[in-house]
A = this chain, B = another copy of it.
Amino acid sequence: MSSDPNPVETPAGESPFELDHFLPYRFNVLAECMSRSLARIYQEQFGISVPEWRVLATLGRESPLSAGEVGSRAHMEKARVSRTLARMLDAGLINRQVDARDNRVAVLALTRRGQDMFRRIAPLARAWEAEMLQVLDAGEVERLHELLDRLLARLRGMRAGSDDAD
């Protein structure tokens, strides 16, 4: 009884709860694995962290942006954005210029150095992704993206009315 492999009784007919088959758990584990694996590349070679990489990629694609715009595009809280930007300013990867029309906002862009770094990391990131995706064919990749789209939309919908936006 003390070594019962299924110690908590389940109502008749129900299978026990399995963490391994539970999607939030699976997504968390997988996301963490991906982050770690990829981060190894840009952390070791370029000395930047995950949020720094996100900001770099965001401003590499579109700029100039305000801090708030960076946050919404990269799904980062404003405090995290603020600290990340401070580090990147120190490192000379971005520059910041106060908006003449509205002195609260400052407009951000990559410096030459930031652009160079982005140009060097982006292909490595793509290559890493391609290596991971070798176990999937093109159609599967497409379907995966499509499933992720729908799940994300669903999650945003589920909390509708409950609290604030994102």
Contacts and interface: CB of A to CB of B under 8 A. Distances in A.
Q: Give the number of times this chain occurs in the complex, counting copies.
A: 2
> Which of A31, A143, A148, A158 lies at the interface centre, i.e. has the most chain B CB atoms within 10 A of its CB?
A31
Interface in A6-24: 6-9, 16-19, 21-24
Q: Is the interface of A mostly helix, strand, loop or mixed?
A: helix
A3 B154 contact: no
A118 B19 contact: no
Interface in A25-61: 25-35, 37-38, 54, 57-61
Given A17-B125, A25-B54, 17 more contacts: A2-B109, A6-B61, A6-B62, A7-B109, A8-B60, A17-B57, A17-B122, A23-B133, A23-B144, A24-B38, A27-B34, A29-B75, A30-B31, A30-B152, A135-B154, A140-B147, A143-B147
